[in-house]
Amino acid sequence: MSIRLLPSNLINQIAAGEVIERPASVVKELVENALDAKATRIEVTLKAGGKTLIAVEDNGKGMSAEDLALAVERHATSKLPTDDLFNVQFLGFRGEALPSIASVAKLKIMTRQAQDKESGWEIEVKGGEKGNIAPSACGFGTRIEVRDLFYATPARLKFLKADTAEVGASSDILSRIALAHPEVSFYLYADDKKKIALNATTGDMRIARLRRAAEVMGREFSDNSLEVNGAKDGMSLTGLISLPTFSKANSLSQYLFVNNRPVKDKLLLGALKGAYAGVLENARYPACVLFLEVNPMLVDVNVHPTKAEVRFFDQQGVRSLLIGAIRQALLQGDKQSANTGAESLINTLEKQVDVNDFFAPRTLNENVSDMPAYSAHYQSRPMSVVHSSAPRSAMLPELERKLSVKVEEPDVTDVENVGPLGVAKAQFHDTYILSQTEDALILIDQHAAHERIVLERLKAAMLSGEKLPSQLMLIPEVVDLTLTQKAALVSEFDALSKLGLVLEDFGAGVLVREVPALIKDASVKKMIVDLADELVEFGASAVAEDKINHIAATMACHGSVRAGRRLNIAEMNHLLREMEKTPHSAQCNHGRPTYVVLDINSLEHLFHR
């Protein structure tokens, strides 16, 4: 078989197969070109989902007749002033978009520069056949019309989805681009119906991005999000992430940008998942809009035909920055839970007092039998409504008056340190604790709350290297395992022993000698089997910190106060005080909320008062 050179039209069609997958791909390429042309207004029009017409009009710089003739040639670009492929400062730089589109559709470009007083210029390309440059009575900027997409390769039409699905894909692409450019107005029309209308926002870029995020992702996201702001080794990360209790069933609400370029990079998505480890419910995804700024010389955007993936020079540094910045943001908002129709507890109380002052650090040497937690970020101050130098018995009437409840002295173990979670009043169905503050009723899930407390204690011990106190089993427990389960568990014997879980190799399974005092009432066999399964699934190649979080979360779930266990008032109040000292106590290890708040206004609304 002899080797031959392919004709140019076939070469362009092959290139189009890599770049142009569906109408949304055309929208992405043309809108990026408009942004590179410094447009401040971009309007996209679709007919039949983009199959019969895709029109993108902008008010950018436009092109001269000479540039227009070159624009439809392969690998012709104005965005690489030098031959350095790593110093890319623009979104579109390959020079493949327009000729690739023209090879599979009918393309018409009309453009006019500000200095062109009389008229602009236009050109048509049909199936790769280029027409002549002609004068055009168009406005300033550029308008590109793509008609009859894939008419030159009709076999590809059968892979397209329904019109509504194709419009949805184009809408998603435009929304992603719009998030990174709040200074630009974006409009999308589909079959004469307005789908997107985002007006430009001027001023501070940080505030503009926040407003654009609220427009694109909804007010509910902005009301339940935390701001991220981190920097490391010349890189910076900014944006918004959702509270763990505000999650999605898929990853469609995850918007990631590298140097303002929308990407779906595996490294970034993996780092995002790792940052939420231990605070997000299984099979749930956080919503986010994150902007990573990296020196263009340290990131390769030329590794994917559609530039959806990138390659970083310092992958570990990027992952470390994302996880660190996101976890710091989660820690700052760790006492917040997603809004449930009533104003959150933190928002209610921050008008009166500095809530961060309520949470006190714990040392690792405290008595672990009292359900201790660990935090290195908070300092304590007694709640203002009970702050007094008077004896406890003298303060009870004042506490009763302020909280509008009858408080018996034996019911409150430490009145001086009552925090934002208030005073426990009762237990409902031996599962939920009812607590009252000055102006709210709080419902606490006792198992979820204690699970978080135990987890943070275990994580702190593992990270510090300190061995947790353990309890020797009177009769050692034998747990049978498969060969895979046993191999995974044996490799972690040393790490588990630091947590107080002492295991020995025993026949076809393991022998449990000691268990952590924190979880002494746990079902040992089930915990060991679940722990082995988690280690098998997580794999030996996992990052050490992620594996620590996974092990601790599994043990904490088995060792926490169970639903159905009856607690007295003193135990309930002790649990509330521990929650106030524990990071991420607004959600359990699986991302579910640990408490909900009904303030007095919401209660009065329910009763039409």
Question: What is the C-alpha to C-alpha distance for residues 204 and 347, in angstroms, rounded to an integer?
Answer: 25
> Rg (Cα) of the chain, in Å, rounded?
30
**Structure-token match 């926002």, residue found:** 201
pLDDT by residue (tens digit) across 215-227?
888 878 888 888 8
The pLDDT of residue 401 is above 70: no
Question: What is the C-alpha to C-alpha distance for residues 72 and 300, in angstroms, rounded to an integer?
Answer: 25
Cα three-residue angle 16-146-254, rounded to 5 degrees = 65
Per-residue confidence (pLDDT) for residue 604, from 0 to 100: 84
Per-residue confidence (pLDDT) for residue 457, from 0 to 100: 79
Question: What is the C-alpha to C-alpha distance for residues 386 and 304, in angstroms, rounded to an integer?
Answer: 62
Going by DSSP bridges, is the β-strand pair 288-293/254-258 parallel, antiparallel, or unpaired? parallel
Q: What's the whole-number mean pLDDT along residues 371-388? A: 34
Spell out where 393-439 has E strands: 423-428, 432-436
pTM of the model: 0.64
**Structure-token match 């959150």, residue found:** 344
Range picked from 79-83, 279-283, 497-501 for highest mean pLDDT: 497-501
Q: What's the whole-number mean pLDDT along residues 309-338? A: 82
For the record, the structure tokens of 441 come out as 């009723």
How many beta carbons lie within 10 A of that of residue 595, not counting itself? 22
Q: How many residues does the chain have?
A: 609
- Set out the domains of the chain in order of their start, with CATH numbers: 8-198 (3.30.565.10), 205-332 (3.30.230.10), 345-449+568-606 (3.30.1540.20), 466-559 (3.30.1370.100)
pLDDT by residue (tens digit) across 480-491?
888 888 888 888
Per-residue confidence (pLDDT) for residue 588, from 0 to 100: 78
Residue 79 and residue 89 in contact, taking contact as beta carbons nearer than 8 Å = yes
Bridge partners of residue 254, in order along the sequence = 288
Q: What's the whole-number mean pLDDT along residues 253-267? A: 87
For the sheet with 595-599, list strands across it: 423-428, 432-436, 440-445, 595-599
pLDDT by residue (tens digit) across 345-362?
334 333 333 333 333 333
pLDDT by residue (tens digit) across 438-468?
888 999 988 888 888 888 877 777 677 677 7
Share of the chain above pLDDT 70, in %: 73
Residue 58 and residue 77 in contact, taking contact as beta carbons nearer than 8 Å = no
Question: What is the C-alpha to C-alpha distance for residues 437 and 451, in angstroms, rounded to an integer?
Answer: 23
Per-residue confidence (pLDDT) for residue 85, from 0 to 100: 53
Question: What is the C-alpha to C-alpha distance for residues 303 and 305, in angstroms, rounded to an integer?
Answer: 7
Range picked from 94-98, 127-131, 257-261 for highest mean pLDDT: 257-261
Signed CA dihedral, 310, 326, 462, 548: sign only: negative
The pLDDT of residue 409 is above 70: no
- Ramachandran assignment for 536, one of left (phi > 0), alpha (psi -120 to 50 degrees), beta (any other): alpha
Average pLDDT, the chain: 76
